[in-house]
Amino acid sequence: MIYVLALIGLVTVVVLLWKAFGPTSTTPARVQGPDDDPEFLWRMSREAERERRDDDPSGER
């Protein structure tokens, strides 16, 4: 019976030490929607410009 209590105490101490000094969990980065992503907006702008050029029958901007 004493071994069971000692094991429970040891597990408790280990868990508390792990929480106090163990590796910290990093907070996940903020999820960015496509309308907030500068790279996405740049690609959309570039694709829209290409489509405008392709639709222009004179070949000029």
Q: How far is CA 45 from CA 3, 40, 49, 51, 54, in A?
A: 70, 9, 6, 10, 14
User: What is residue 60's predicted lDDT score, i.e. its pLDDT?
Assistant: 57
User: What is residue 17's predicted lDDT score, i.e. its pLDDT?
Assistant: 93
**What is the pTM for the complete model shown?**
0.40
Residue 58 is given by DSSP the state: T
Q: For the CA atoms of the chain, what is the radius of gyration?
A: 30
Structure-token match 């910290």, residue found: 24
| CA pair distance 22, 10, nearest whole angstrom | 16
Residue 3 tokens read as: 């071994």
User: What is residue 32's predicted lDDT score, i.e. its pLDDT?
Assistant: 67
Confidence of residue 24 (pLDDT cuts 50, 70, 90): confident
User: What is residue 7's predicted lDDT score, i.e. its pLDDT?
Assistant: 97
